[in-house]
C-alpha cells in the first residue's frame, strides 16, 4: 500500500514537472501588465478624483517574445466575482516560423480555482504559407470541432474578413493605398451593418449604418486620430472619447476613457500599461507590441 502511494505521488510530481517545463516556452522576454482604474461617483452622480483598484492589481498579464507577439495571456477577475486576485483564464499561443498564429490553448479556473484545459484553436495557412485561411475551435475533452471560421484574403494579400458560412460573414474593401474603405457584416445572406470610411490629413472618419434603421436614424460617426508617427492617439464618437498616450520608446503607456454629455467631457476610467523587458526592445518590435496590446484588449477583454 505504501509502495502504491509512493508511486502515485511520483507520477503526480513528475506530471507537475513536465507541465512546468512545458510552460517555460511561454515565458518570453517581455512582460506586460494592464491595470484598470475607475473613477468613483458621489451621491449626486458627480465624478470624484477617487479611483478604484488602489492595490494596482492587473486585470491582464501577458508575456511576449522579442518580436512582440503574445505567448501567454492571463486574465483575472471571475465573471461571478470581480476579484483581481483570482485567475480566470490562461491562453497559451504558438506561431509558425513566418510569425502567423498557429495554435491557442484556453485554460479556465473552476469555482475551486483549479486550472482546467478546456479548449484549443488551430490556425491553418494557405499553400503559400503566407496567410491564415481558417480558425478552428475544439473542445479538449471530446476533441470535437465547435466553430470553424474561414478567412478571406484577396489577391493583394489583404484581409477581407471572417466567414462562418456562405450566409454569415464579414467583408472588407481597401483603396489603392491599402486603407480600409468599407467593412460589412452579413447575416443569413443579408447585409446587417456596414462601416464606410474616409480619410483627411491625420484622421480616419467612419460612418456606421445599421441596415434595419438606415434612412430612419442618422449614421453613427467615429473619428480616429493619428500622430506624426501614424500611431492612434484618439478615438471619438458622439458618446465616448478614448485617448492613447505613449512612452519615450513609442510603446502604449496609458489608455483613458471619457464620457461625453453634451459639451461636458469627463474621465470615467483609464488603463495603465506596465512593461518589463529582459533585453533592450528593438525599434522594429515597437509597432508589433502596440498591435498586440490593442488586439489583446479587443480579443480577450471586450467588456472594457
Give the chain's domains with CATH numbers. 30-300 (2.40.160)
pLDDT for 235 beyond 80:
yes
Query: Grid coordinates 480566470 are at which residue?
Result: 88
Tell me what percent of the residues of the chain surpass a pLDDT of 90.
69
Alpha helices by DSSP H, listed for 35-139, are none
* pLDDT at residue 8, as a whole number: 47
β-bridge mates for residue 106, sequence order: 91, 119
pLDDT at residue 3, rounded to an integer: 54
CA gap 242, 236 in Å, rounded: 6
**21 falls in which pLDDT band (50, 70, 90)?**
low
Distance of alpha carbon 132 from alpha carbon 169, whole angstroms: 16
Distance CA 185, CA 194 (A): 6
Phi, psi of 143 (to 5 degrees): 50, 40
Percent of the chain with pLDDT over 70: 89
Main-chain phi, psi angles of 202, to 5 degrees: -105, 25
Q: Classify residue 189 as left (phi > 0), alpha (psi -120 to 50) or beta.
A: left
> Residue 304: pLDDT above 50?
no
Query: In which band, very low, low, confident or very high, does the pLDDT at 119 lie, cut at 50, 70 and 90?
Result: very high
The pLDDT of residue 23 is 64
Q: Does the structure show a pLDDT above 60 at 159?
A: yes
Question: Among 61-65, 138-142, 279-283, whose mean pLDDT is lowest?
Answer: 279-283
Amino acid at each position: 500500500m505504501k509502495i502504491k502511494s509512493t508511486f502515485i505521488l511520483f507520477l503526480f510530481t513528475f506530471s507537475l514537472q513536465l507541465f512546468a517545463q512545458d510552460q517555460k516556452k511561454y515565458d518570453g522576454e517581455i512582460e506586460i501588465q494592464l491595470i484598470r482604474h475607475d473613477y468613483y461617483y458621489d451621491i449626486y452622480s458627480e465624478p470624484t478624483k477617487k479611483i478604484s483598484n488602489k492595490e494596482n492589481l492587473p486585470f491582464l498579464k501577458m508575456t511576449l517574445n522579442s518580436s512582440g507577439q503574445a505567448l501567454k495571456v492571463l486574465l483575472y477577475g471571475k465573471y461571478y466575482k470581480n476579484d483581481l486576485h483570482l485567475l480566470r483564464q490562461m491562453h497559451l499561443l504558438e506561431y509558425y516560423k513566418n510569425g502567423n498564429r498557429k495554435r491557442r490553448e484556453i485554460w479556465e479556473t473552476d469555482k475551486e480555482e483549479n486550472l482546467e484545459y478546456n479548449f484549443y484553436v488551430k490556425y491553418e495557412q494557405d499553400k503559400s504559407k503566407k496567410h491564415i485561411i481558417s480558425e478552428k475551435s475544439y473542445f479538449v475533452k471530446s476533441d470535437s470541432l465547435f466553430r470553424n471560421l474561414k478567412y478571406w484574403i484577396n489577391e493583394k494579400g489583404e484581409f477581407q474578413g471572417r466567414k462562418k458560412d456562405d450566409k454569415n460573414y464579414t467583408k472588407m474593401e481597401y483603396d489603392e493605398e491599402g486603407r480600409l474603405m468599407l467593412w460589412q457584416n452579413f447575416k443569413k445572406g443579408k447585409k446587417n451593418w456596414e462601416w464606410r470610411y474616409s480619410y483627411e490629413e491625420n484622421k480616419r472618419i467612419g460612418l456606421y449604418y445599421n441596415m434595419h434603421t438606415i434612412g430612419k436614424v442618422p449614421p453613427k460617426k467615429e473619428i480616429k486620430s493619428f500622430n506624426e508617427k501614424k500611431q492612434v492617439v484618439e478615438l471619438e464618437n458622439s458618446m465616448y472619447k478614448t485617448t492613447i498616450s505613449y512612452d519615450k520608446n513609442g510603446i502604449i503607456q496609458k489608455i483613458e476613457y471619457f464620457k461625453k454629455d453634451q459639451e461636458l467631457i469627463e474621465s470615467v476610467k483609464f488603463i495603465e500599461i506596465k512593461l518589463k523587458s529582459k533585453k533592450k526592445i528593438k525599434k522594429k518590435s515597437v509597432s508589433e507590441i502596440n498591435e498586440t496590446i490593442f488586439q489583446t484588449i479587443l480579443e480577450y477583454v471586450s467588456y472594457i
